[in-house]
Structure 1
Amino acid sequence: MAVSGARSRVLWASDPVWTRGRLVSEPEGSRSAFRRDCDRIIHSTGFRRLKHKTQVFVFHEGDHYRTRLTHTLEVAQIARSIARALGLDEDLSEALALAHDLGHPPFAHAGERALDACMAAFGGFDHNAQSLRVVTRLERRYAAFDGLNLTWETLEGIAKHNGPLTDRDGAVLHGRGGGLPHAIVAHSAVQDLELWSHAGAEAQVAAISDDIAYDVHDLDDGLRARLFTLDELRDLPLVGDVLSEVRALWPDLEEGRIIHEVMRRLITRLVEDVVRESELRAHAAAVRSSYEVRMLGHPLVAFSPAMRTAEAAVKGFLFPHMYRHPRVNRIMDDAQGVIRDLFGHFLANPRDMPSDWHLSDPEPARLARRVTDYIAGMTDRYALDQHARFFDTTPELR
């Protein structure tokens, strides 16, 4: 099923003309509301910092591995393709793809685990919630407001990247640690993002594009880092089939080209499956508006059952072979130590943070969040530089 080419807008697409608006009213001008959201995210400080934040490998492991920025750009490209094929708003899907990792701390999920443990007494740390905090509080670029003043639909999609956070009565859904992240609670006090419902279709597109991008490019990076081999992928559903197909078509092709051909075909298969399954679901549910998408009670944008099984197998392979590989584990254990050290130091010595991060009221929870905001915004390199400034020994993370 081809996914290229424009398609007329479906009734269940989000319409920038009928956006629920911004917290601070602004004239929209010639660009659509969702296009302005994209542009504001691209020009933000948090977006630029993604260039030097880890995806899986720290920055000096090699120039050709993904960073958090290149991952984000790949997610945005996939999201635009799916949104275009489904007749959804491409700008909104792109905005959500561009914003989804703005809250990631340095050193990937190792940094997140470390900050979550450091903040255990104050509600923990969640990078999705931190992304919302970045775009609503921490970016300070505009004269009239803090944050980027994004549309309701974009903020909703950031908050619900992994689906609804509560039930209709406000009870936090199982598996979220018994409470909502502080950033979500704080913003909900001024703007209701309807945390009990699913997000619109464009947000669901951005979320599933994230899965597609990191599944495929983590396989790619893992192969190039020689954490595993092509032959170890032969028994994986979907991946093994594509690998056999490529080898049959080009039996003498060098390994680098085989890897690239396999990865691009995997992305195509995953994207086409999402488009096909989402259209089937939309037809079966007879959805006629973005509101009805939110009220369905289950995702509209999804993999087919067979593809969901194959995609889960990829994640199941990557967890022990890449994310918990001894080489990666050793580096990430050291990285967590860097984050813990910085948190402890700045909590005890808040004046060692830049002057614009100082607080007149050093109330413990507020100070801990201030320190967390500062550390979460760091790049890998800046975190290591700061560690070397205050500690006698700093790991090389190699």
Structure 2
Amino acid sequence: MLLSPWACQPQETRGRRYFEAAAPTRTEHQRDRDRIVHSSAFRRLVYKTQVFVNHEGDLFRTRLTHSLEVAQLGRSIARPLALNEDLVEAICLAHDLGHTPFGHAGQDELNACMQGLGGFEHNLQSLRVVDALEERYPQYDGINLTFETREGILKHCSRANALKLEAQEPGGVAARFLSGQQTSLEGQLANLADAIAYNAHDVDDGVRSGLISVEQLQAVPLFAHFHAQALMEYPQLAQPEADRRLLYETIRRMLSAQVYDVIGTTRQRIEQAGVQSADEVRACGQRLVSFSPDMQAQSQALKHFLFHQLYRHVQVMQTMDAARQVVRELFDAYLQQPSMMKPRYALRAQQAGSAAAQARVVADFVAGMTDRYAAKEHERITGQRLLA
């Protein structure tokens, strides 16, 4: 496929941190995607939660299914914009590799544990996974991805951490956080596809769980519009036995509308910015992949509803409080007795040159756990079963 001038051209990649000869049949970003799919961290995503902890049901989204949905949305938007689909897919599949067990509750608790010791950012941890923690190759740590994929994975970064990364890799993936530049269009697209996927599948999972209802969702204009539209076109969906079909049809229409809105708005913004290369995209200083103002407002309203009605639901909060306790007590136990970790982490902790370095090893170990492994380890160490 012929790419647009402002897309990241595979043949013009800024390369890998460790040189490798080109592959005979794949572009560099195809290789990145394949390496991500074959990584241990990617496989662990199947047992890492989104909103509902892994034991709460087999049909709720996990980090793995979420990543696949983000990649599908990303490619659907990338193709009509003539962007680098392989790069978009690679970033989408890798964006959550550094997420802790138990979703944002686990991340927040691990960050609290690491206060004064460097903190914890899941985006930075995703980069750390692909740069250092995966052990698959004899020549180097990590999986040696291209600059463009690593740049897209690091979608957020504090200034303090950006300065540290910049010192290690001058002009590298963290430089834009210090200079005010943007990531590539492919990186911007992966970020927005993540948000679109979140809203859509959390509506589905929230209704399936019984924690939110279709009646409550009628207060959200984006949902109410397409729910009414689906009923008008298919009145038979009003029957109680068709409630799942009606919900799916509503979500499908919501997704399509957001995808087409992003495509149209992004085309306009690219034309207005006058960019003619990926580097000009980075230097223009504004996000070009975006919703229209109206769709942005509607998307934010849905996000606000989900935050208050689902993510802060008393049942979810009770589970997340227990999850935070699991993460905190695991962190404390391993910090006090590193030998309880797997041997390679125990050795790294033993060789750490400072308290902060040792704590980072413990954070790496805890962040890499799946929900069920963390719960089992916590029960083994403390004798408490907090997440049955």
TM score, norm. by length of structure 2 = 0.94
Q: Is 1:328 paired with 2:316?
A: yes
Aligned partners of 1:316, 1:361: CA distance in 2, in Å?
43
Q: Secondary structure at the match of 1:211?
A: helix
- 1:270 alignment partner, SS class: helix
Counterpart Cα distance in 1 of 2:286 and 2:260: 20
Distance in 1 of aligned mates of 2:338 and 2:353: 9
Does residue 1:243 correspond to 2:227, yes or no?
yes
Partner in structure 1 of residue 325 of structure 2: 337
Is 1:83–1:90's contact at 8 Å kept on the other side of the alignment? yes
1:22 aligns with 2:9: no
56, 60, 65: which one aligns with 1:65? 60
1:324 Cα deviation (Å)? 0.5
Distance 2:123 2:330 in 1: 22
Cα distance in 1 for residues equivalent to 2:221 and 2:290: 18
Pairing 1:76-115 to 2, within 5 Å after superposition:
76-115=71-110
Maintained 8 Å contact 2:48/2:100:
yes
Q: Which residue of 2 aligns with 1:383?
A: 374
How far off is 1:286 after superposition? Answer: 1.3
**Gap regions ≥5 residues in structure 2:** none
Shift of 1:392: 1.9
Distance in 2, matches of 1:150 and 1:24, equals 9
Counterpart amino acid of 1:63?
Answer: D
* Map 1:195-234 → 2, pairs under 5 A: 195=176, 196=179, 197-234=181-218
> Which residue in the other structure is 1:270 paired with?
258
SS state of the match for residue 86, structure 1?
Answer: coil
State the Cα RMSD in Å.
Answer: 1.4
Report the Cα distance in structure 1 between the residues aligned to 2:279 and 2:167, rounded to whole angstroms.
20
2:286 and 2:352 map into 1 onto residues whose CA distance is: 44
CA distance in 2 between partners of 1:283 and 1:361 (Å):
51
Structure 1 pair 267–291 and aligned structure 2 pair: CA distance change class (3 A): same
Residue 285 of structure 1: how far off its partner (Å): 1.1
Q: 2:357 aligns with which of 357, 360, 366?
A: 366
Contact 1:274 1:304 in 2 (8 A): yes
Question: Deviations along 1:277-319, whole A, 9 cap, x unmatched?
Answer: 0000011111110011111111010000000000000111001
- Which of 136, 140, 143 aligns to 1:141? It is 136
Report % sequence identity.
45
Amino acid at match of 1:338: V
The runs of at least 4 consecutive aligned structure 1 residues that moved more than 3 Å come to none
Task: Please name the residue that 1:255 is paired with.
Answer: 243
Q: CA deviation at 1:237?
A: 2.1
Partner in structure 1 of residue 147 of structure 2? 152
Q: 1:72 to 1:387 in 2, by over 3 A?
A: same
1:176 aligns with none
SS in 1 for 2:79: helix
Deviation at 1:152, TM superposition (A): 0.6
Q: Give the deviation of 1:188 after TM superposition.
A: 5.0
- The whole-number CA distance in structure 1 between the counterparts of 2:165 and 2:340 is 27
Residue-pair matches, total: 375
Instruction: Give the residue type in structure 1 aligned to 2:356.
Output: A
The answer to whether the 8 Å contact 1:9/1:88 transfers is yes
Q: Under a length normalisation based on structure 1, what TM-score does the superposition of the two structures give?
A: 0.92
Structure 1 runs not aligned, ≥5 long: 1-5, 167-171, 173-178
In structure 2, what residue type is equivalent to 1:377? Answer: G
Distance 1:291 1:70 in 2: 32
The answer to whether 1:121 aligns with 2:116 is: yes
What residue number does 1:355 align with?
343
Contact 1:338–1:394, Cα closer than 8 Å, also in 2: no
Say whether the 8 Å CA contact 1:116–1:124 is kept in structure 2.
yes
Separation (CA, whole Å) in 2 of partners of 1:85 and 1:226: 37
Q: Which structure has the highest helix share of the two?
A: 2
What is the Cα deviation at residue 271 of structure 1? 0.6
2: distance between equivalents of 1:325 and 1:273?
31
Following TM superposition, by how much is the alpha carbon of 1:222 offset from its aligned partner in structure 2, in angstroms? 0.5
Matched, 1:180 2:161: yes
Q: CA deviation at 1:68?
A: 0.6
Give the aligned partner of residue 279 of structure 1: 267
- The code of the aligned residue for 2:133 comes to L
